[in-house]
C-alpha cells in the first residue's frame, strides 16, 4: 500500500518508494539523503498548511507540504491513518 | 604534492567548519548551531612549520553540482585551493560522504575530519576510523572542533593528504557511499537522551507552539531584566563617579564652541548625561549606559538560543505564517539577528534562496525590525509609561511587518519556494565559545557603533550651530507637523536617524513630547530608513534598483502608518 508523506501518520516509519519529481527535485532531496529505498520517520506536521518534519538517519528535516506530497511511501495496510 | 599555499574547509552546512577555521587560524568568527551561519567566504592564515598558509572557510554545501549560489562558490574555490579539509559530521556519515566522494573526484589532496566525534558516543554510533581511512584511501581524523580535540592531529595529517581522481556517476557514488557506511558504522539501539526528548517536544505543534510563545516572552523579559539591572547597579553608578570629572572640565572650559562640542548645553546649570548632547557627556552615556547593557543582554540570550539549536525549530513552527508574507520560516533568522543589529541581519538574508524572498525580507526587516540600540533607548523613553506605550509601539511595528509582507507577497511576481531545510540537533552550548561570541558581538558594537554615536552627536552640534537644521525643519515641517503630528524640533532627530537610531531617539527626550508623540516618533524612526550602515549592506546585497524600490516603500509606509497613528491615538 502506497501513501504520500503528507498522508502518513505522525510517529510512523516508512520506506520511500517513489519520488514524484524531476532529476533536480530528486537531487535536492538526495542532498539530505532522502532517496528511494531509505526509511524515514514522520515526526510532526505543522497545522494550517505548515511544513512536515521528518527524521532520516540522524537528521531532522523540515519540508513543505508540496514536497511531502511528492514523496511516496510503502506502508503496510494497518498503518494508514 | 605541489606547494601548499591554500587550504579549503569544505563540508555540509552546520558540520563545524567555522569552529575549525577559528581553531586553525586563531581568527574569531561567529559560530552557531544552525545551517547557514557562514554566508561569506572567510579567510585567515595558519602556521604550518615555518610557513604561513591561507585557510578558507567555504560556506556549507551538500554537493558540488553548481545549482545554488553556495555550491557555485564551493566549486569556484576548489579550483584555487591546494588542499581540502573535508569536515564531516560523524553522526551523519552517509549523507556527508556523498560530498566527500565528489571531492575525491576533483584531483585535489583531501583529508577528512570526522567532527562531532563526542556526539557519536551519546548517539550510540560507532565508526571504525581506521577502516574508513583504508576504504577512502585518505587520512581520517576524529575531531571535536569546538573544544579543539583532534586539531593538532588534523594539521599533522595535512602532509599525508591524498589525491584521487575517481570518476563516478551519481548512482555509483551513492552505491559506494552506502557500501562504505555499512562497513564502518555500527548503530546501537539505545534510549532517547533528554535533549532528544526536548527536540520532539519543541517541534510537535501541540507542545511546540506554546513553548515557542513562552520562549519569546521569556526572552523579552530576560533582556529587560538584565538590561535594567545592569544600568541601575553598574553603569549609572559608574557615570555618577564620572560626573564630578566632567563638571570640573565644564567649569574649566567655561562657555563657547569647544564647551558646546565636548560638554554640550547645561540643563539648569548642570550637566545632564541624556540631554546635554556633548561628546564627553551624552556621547558616552548613550552608548555605554543606555545601549550597551541591552546589547549585552540581547546577545547573551540570542547566543544561547543559537547554540542550543532552537532557531531552526522556531523557523519550522512559523513557516506557515512566513509563507503568507512571502518568505519561508528560515527568514526568522535575519529578523532575530536584526533585532540585535540590522547589519548582521541584512547580511544573513543570503540564507534565503530567491531574490524575491531576499527583497521582502530586507524590506520588512529595515521597516519593522528596530535594532537593540534603538529599542534600548525606547525602553528608556517610553518605559516610564508602563507597558502601554511600548505595547502600542511594538504592536504597530508587528502589524506593519505582517500587513506589508502580505501585500508584497500578493503584489510581487513569483512564489516562495517550499521550505527544505535540515534542523540541527540540540547541543549543550559550549560555554567558552558562547562567551567568545558574546564578546565578539560586544566588541563589534563598541568599535563600530561608538564612533558613529560620537559622530552623530558631533553632527547634531554642527547642524544646530550652522543653522542647517532650521533650514531642513522649515522644508519638512508640513509633513512632520501636519501629517505626523510631531513638533518641528523632532526633525533634527529624524535627520540624525539616518546615521544612528539610538542618538536619534535620545534627541527626542528633551523635547517634552507626549506619549502619543513619543510612540509616533519612535515608530517613524524605525520605519522611514534603516541606519546608513544597514543601508550600505542592503545596497550591496540587493542592488541599486531593488534598494530604491525598497526605500520608496519605506517612505510611503512611514507616512501612511505615522499619519494613521496620529489620527487614532
Which region holds residue B525: left if phi is over 0, alpha if psi is between -120 and 50, else beta?
A: alpha
Check residue B461 and give its pLDDT.
87
Check residue B421 and give its pLDDT.
93
Residue B246 exposure: Cα atoms within 13 Å on the Cβ side? 27
Check residue A77 and give its pLDDT.
61
Cβ of A51 and B329 within 8 Å?
yes
Question: B193 — contact with chain A (CB < 8 Å)?
Answer: no
pLDDT digits (tens, 9 = 90+) for A8-66: 999 999 999 999 988 889 989 999 999 999 999 999 999 999 999 999 988 999 999 99
Check residue A78 and give its pLDDT.
56
Cβ of B423 and A53 within 8 Å?
yes
pTM of the prediction? 0.92
Q: Work out the minimum CA distance from A79 to partner chain B, whole angstroms.
A: 20
Check residue B409 and give its pLDDT.
96
Q: A72 burial class (0-12, 13-18, 19+ CB within 10 angstroms)?
A: middle
Kindly list the residues from chain A whose CB atom is less than 8 angstroms away from the CB atom of residue B329.
51, 62
ipTM of the prediction: 0.93
Calculate the dihedral angle through the C-alpha atoms of B46, B149, B152, B307, rounding to the nearest 10 degrees.
-10
Check residue A6 and give its pLDDT.
95
Q: Work out the minimum CA distance from B317 to partner chain A, whole angstroms.
A: 7
Residue of B nearest to A47 (CA): B205
Kindly list the residues from chain A whose CB atom is less than 8 angstroms away from the CB atom of residue B312.
62
Cβ of B319 and A53 within 8 Å?
no
3-state class (DSSP) for residue B154: helix
Q: What would the grid cell of residue B499 be?
A: 546615521
Kindly list the residues from chain A whose CB atom is less than 8 angstroms away from the CB atom of residue B174.
30, 35
How many angstroms separate the Cα of B279 from the Cα of each of B261, B276, B286, B454?
A: 6, 9, 10, 6
Cβ of B316 and A51 within 8 Å?
yes
Q: What would the grid cell of residue B362 be?
A: 530586507
Treating both helix axes as pointing N-terminal to C-terminal, what angle do B515-527 and B501-508 enclose, rounded to 10 degrees? 160
Residue with cell 531552526: B312
Cβ of B328 and A64 within 8 Å?
yes
Cβ of B67 and A27 within 8 Å?
yes
Cβ of A50 and B317 within 8 Å?
yes
Cβ density class B155-177: b for 16+ within 10 Å, e for less: bebbeebebbeeeeeeeebbebb
pLDDT digits (tens, 9 = 90+) for B464-473: 888 898 899 9
Which residues on chain A place their C-beta less than 8 Å from a C-beta of chain B?
A: 10, 24, 27-33, 35, 43-51, 53, 57-67
Q: How far apart are CA B204 and CA B192, in angstroms?
A: 16
Q: Which residues 6+ apart lie within 8 Å of B376 measured at CB?
A: B227, B290, B291, B293, B294, B295, B502
Q: What would the grid cell of residue B335 be?
A: 529578523
In chain B, which residues have pLDDT < 70?
Answer: 1-2
Q: With the C-alpha atoms ordered B451, B452, B454, B458, is the resulting torsion angle positive or negative? A: positive
Check residue B386 and give its pLDDT.
81
Check residue A81 and give its pLDDT.
47
Check residue B49 and give its pLDDT.
84
Cβ of B205 and A50 within 8 Å?
yes
3-state class (DSSP) for residue B48: strand
Kindly list the residues from chain A whose CB atom is less than 8 angstroms away from the CB atom of residue B199.
60
**A40 within 8 A of A54, measured Cβ to Cβ:** yes
Q: How far apart are CA B295 and CA B376, in angstroms?
A: 8
Amino acid at each position: 500500500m502506497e501513501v504520500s508523506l503528507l498522508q502518513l501518520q505522525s510517529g510512523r516509519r516508512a520506506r520511500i518508494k517513489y519520488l514524484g519529481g524531476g532529476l533536480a527535485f530528486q537531487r535536492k532531496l538526495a542532498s539530505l539523503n532522502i532517496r528511494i529505498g531509505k526509511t524515514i520517520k514522520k515526526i510532526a506536521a505543522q497545522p494550517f498548511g505548515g511544513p512536515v518534519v521528518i527524521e532520516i538517519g540522524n537528521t531532522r528535516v523540515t519540508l513543505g507540504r508540496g514536497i511531502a506530497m511528492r514523496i511516496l511511501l510503502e506502508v503496510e495496510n494497518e498503518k494508514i491513518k | 604534492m605541489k606547494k601548499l599555499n591554500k587550504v579549503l574547509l569544505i563540508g555540509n552546512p552546520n558540520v563545524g567548519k567555522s569552529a575549525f577555521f577559528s581553531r586553525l587560524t586563531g581568527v574569531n568568527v561567529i559560530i552557531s548551531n544552525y545551517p547557514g551561519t557562514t554566508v561569506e567566504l572567510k579567510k585567515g592564515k595558519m602556521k604550518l612549520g615555518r610557513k604561513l598558509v591561507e585557510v578558507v572557510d567555504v560556506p556549507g554545501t551538500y554537493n558540488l553540482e553548481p545549482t545554488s549560489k553556495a555550491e557555485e562558490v564551493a566549486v569556484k574555490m576548489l579550483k584555487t585551493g591546494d588542499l581540502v579539509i573535508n569536515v564531516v559530521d560523524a553522526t551523519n556519515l552517509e549523507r556527508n560522504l556523498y560530498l566527500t566522494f565528489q571531492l575525491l573526484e576533483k584531483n585535489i589532496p583531501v583529508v577528512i575530519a570526522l567532527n562531532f566525534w563526542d556526539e557519536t558516543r551519546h548517539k550510540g554510533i560507532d565508526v571504525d576510523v581506521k577502516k574508513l581511512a583504508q576504504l577512502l584511501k585518505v587520512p581520517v581524523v576524529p575531531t571535536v572542533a569546538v573544544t579543539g580535540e583532534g586539531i593538532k592531529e588534523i594539521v599533522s595529517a595535512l602532509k599525508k593528504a591524498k589525491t584521487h581522481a575517481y570518476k563516478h556517476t551519481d548512482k555509483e557514488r551513492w552505491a559506494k557511499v552506502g557500501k562504505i557506511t555499512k562497513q564502518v558504522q555500527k548503530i546501537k539501539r539505545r534510549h532517547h537522551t533528554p535533549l532528544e526528548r526536548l527536540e520532539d517536544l519543541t517541534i510537535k505543534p501541540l507542545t511546540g507552539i506554546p513553548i515557542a510563545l513562552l520562549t519569546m516572552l521569556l526572552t523579552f523579559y530576560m533582556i529587560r531584566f538584565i538590561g535594567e539591572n545592569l544600568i541601575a547597579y553598574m553603569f549609572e553608578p559608574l557615570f555618577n563617579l564620572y560626573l564630578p570629572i566632567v563638571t570640573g572640565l565644564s567649569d574649566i572650559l567655561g562657555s563657547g564652541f569647544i564647551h558646546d562640542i565636548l560638554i554640550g548645553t547645561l540643563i539648569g546649570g548642570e550637566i545632564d548625561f541624556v540631554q546635554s548632547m556633548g561628546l564627553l557627556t551624552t556621547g558616552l552615556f548613550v552608548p555605554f549606559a543606555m545601549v550597551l547593557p541591552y546589547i549585552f543582554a540581547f546577545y547573551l540570550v540570542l547566543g544561547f538560543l543559537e547554540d542550543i539549536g532552537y532557531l531552526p525549530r522556531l523557523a519550522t513552527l512559523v513557516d506557515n505564517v512566513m509563507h503568507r508574507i512571502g518568505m519561508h520560516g528560515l527568514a526568522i533568522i535575519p529578523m532575530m539577528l536584526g533585532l540585535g543589529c540590522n547589519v548582521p541581519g541584512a547580511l544573513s538574508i543570503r540564507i534565503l534562496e530567491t531574490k524575491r524572498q531576499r527583497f521582502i525580507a530586507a524590506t520588512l526587516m529595515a521597516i519593522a525590525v528596530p535594532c537593540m540600540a534603538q529599542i534600548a533607548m525606547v525602553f528608556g523613553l517610553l518605559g516610564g509609561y508602563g507597558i502601554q506605550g511600548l505595547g502600542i509601539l511594538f504592536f504597530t511595528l508587528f502589524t506593519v511587518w505582517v500587513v506589508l509582507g502580505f501585500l508584497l507577497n500578493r503584489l510581487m511576481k513569483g512564489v516562495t519556494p517550499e521550505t527544505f531545510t535540515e534542523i540541527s540537533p540540540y547541543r549543550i552550548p559550549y560555554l567558552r565559545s558562547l562567551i567568545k561570541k558574546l564578546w565578539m558581538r560586544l566588541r563589534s558594537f563598541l568599535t563600530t557603533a561608538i564612533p558613529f554615536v560620537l559622530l552623530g552627536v558631533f553632527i547634531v552640534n554642527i547642524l544646530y550651530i550652522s543653522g542647517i537644521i532650521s533650514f531642513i525643519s522649515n522644508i519638512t515641517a508640513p509633513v512632520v507637523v501636519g501629517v505626523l503630528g510631531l513638533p518641528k524640533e523632532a526633525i533634527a532627530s529624524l535627520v540624525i536617524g539616518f546615521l544612528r537610531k539610538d542618538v536619534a531617539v535620545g534627541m527626542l527626550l528633551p523635547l517634552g513630547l507626549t506619549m502619543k508623540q513619543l510612540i509616533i516618533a519612535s515608530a517613524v524612526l524605525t520605519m522611514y530608513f534603516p541606519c546608513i550602515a544597514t543601508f550600505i549592506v542592503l545596497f550591496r546585497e540587493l542592488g541599486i534598483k531593488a534598494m530604491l524600490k525598497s526605500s520608496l516603500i519605506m517612505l510611503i509606509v512611514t507616512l501612511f502608518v505615522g499619519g494613521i497613528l496620529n489620527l487614532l491615538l
